[in-house]
Amino acid sequence: MTASPHPSPFPDGFLWGAATAAHQVEGNNTNSDAWLLEHLPHTLFTEPSGDAIDHYHRYREDIALLASLGLTSYRFSLEWARIEPEEGHFSPAALAHYRRVLEACREHGLKTVVTYHHFTSPRWLLATGGWEDPGTPERFARYCDAVTAHLGDLIDIACTLNEPNLPPLLATMGIGGEVPEQRADVPVWAAAAECLGIAPQRVAPFQFTATEAGYEVKLAAHRRGTAAIKAHRPDLMAGWTLANSDIQAAPGGEDRAEAVRREVNERFLLASREDDFVGIQTYGRTVFGPDGVAPPPADAQTNQMGEEIHPQGLEATIREAAAIAGVPVIVTENGLATEDDTERLAYLRTALTGVASCLADGIDVRGYHAWSAFDNYEWVFGYRPKFGLIAIDRTTQTRTPKPSAHWLGEVSRTNGASLASDRRAVGART
């Protein structure tokens, strides 16, 4: 570790990492529901994922690169559609693949933060009623059992479900969230139903299902999945990772903001009390005015999705999570979609200063993972948004670390001490 004159509030063993999700980086995830949805008529996706960044084949060089930057942790997800390609049929080859990925992390000294489900499910699961079907928690538990039996010894932290609370947040912005009776009128759900041979009201993909039934199924899947994981590794820290926007009110929007904060943040944080940790994933703030979500102020800097850049949201949501859930917090995602890496670096610096402030106040934060390790497939937005610390030329699949990657690596090598001196150097403007 590089010597630094500045004290750091980051405890020894704090995880300094970057995150990815299988579907966004692996490529050709053809047996998943997301692949199906990308290729339907009336698709919501601006472009298909295709080869993505070919991480499925290039994981060794990718992991070596992350470690060479100085990071100590890699959060990534396993692809259920590869591991259980048909219901009840597990693929030894796919499990062996992920074992090699985990071993590569070990070889390079990276802790493994493993997400069992990051939005995508096998296509067969969608055909059985997906994330509103009462049988799904049992199916998910069986998958968690198989995964942990084969890979559990190499996993350092287990994340069951990624962002089960994103759908209600998206629904407040008019994305997805249709109740079953409305789905026949939404062209893409009607097309999915026809393709799967089920009724449109039964089309319930994880990311777009915001019903109460969906909540019950996800919570039960999380509980049963956790129990299946613990049956093999009682000592393995397990929890879910949440989409925690910093929910705020503009004048006239107080009641709406409070209602959304309760439904999207508090409800899920209360459920996290039974877990070993809660994963926090914050990108900014969502401000409610009298007419719903308020647009960013006219003079606000915005990201590539047109949202206000607000790195201070991370500190607010860590404090909210710690106060409500009362369990250790791990920042499992945080980052900015921008072509301007200077902007990203400033964002990360401010966000991490917020983490340091939480630690200084005695809040138990165990790690920070930037989203994302690489520029990758940003779901319905396709490849345009650039969240990566590492740029990808998708024609040659060449990887090029950006200055923010080297900066975060240095913060990691000094366990946060360089952050304090760096902020002094820039005059702590943000």
**Catalytic residue positions?**
163
Indicate the residue among 353 and 376 with the shorter CB distance to ligand BGC. 376
Indicate the residue among 112 and 207 with the shorter CB distance to ligand BGC. 207
Distance in Å, CB of 87 to ligand BGC, minimum: 25
In order of 14, 228, 327, 414, the CA distances from 422 in angstroms are: 19, 44, 30, 12
Are the CB atoms for 327 and 277 separated by under 8 Å?
A: yes
Indicate the residue among 293 and 420 with the shorter CB distance to ligand BGC. 293
Distance in Å, CB of 118 to ligand BGC, minimum: 6
Distance CA 104, CA 106 (A): 5
Indicate the residue among 24 and 172 with the shorter CB distance to ligand BGC. 24
Distance in Å, CB of 429 to ligand BGC, minimum: 25
In order of 70, 247, 249, 265, the CA distances from 292 in angstroms are: 43, 12, 10, 17
Of 54, 76, 45, the closest CA to residue 393 belongs to 54
Distance in Å, CB of 378 to ligand BGC, minimum: 5
Distance in Å, CB of 163 to ligand BGC, minimum: 5
Indicate the residue among 34 and 417 with the shorter CB distance to ligand BGC. 34
Distance in Å, CB of 74 to ligand BGC, minimum: 15
Q: Could you list the residues that contact ligand BGC (CB under 6 A)?
A: 21, 24, 162-163, 166, 243, 281, 333, 371, 378, 387
Indicate the residue among 26 and 163 with the shorter CB distance to ligand BGC. 163
Retrieve residue 46's tokens.
């601006």
Residue nearest to ligand BGC (CB): 21
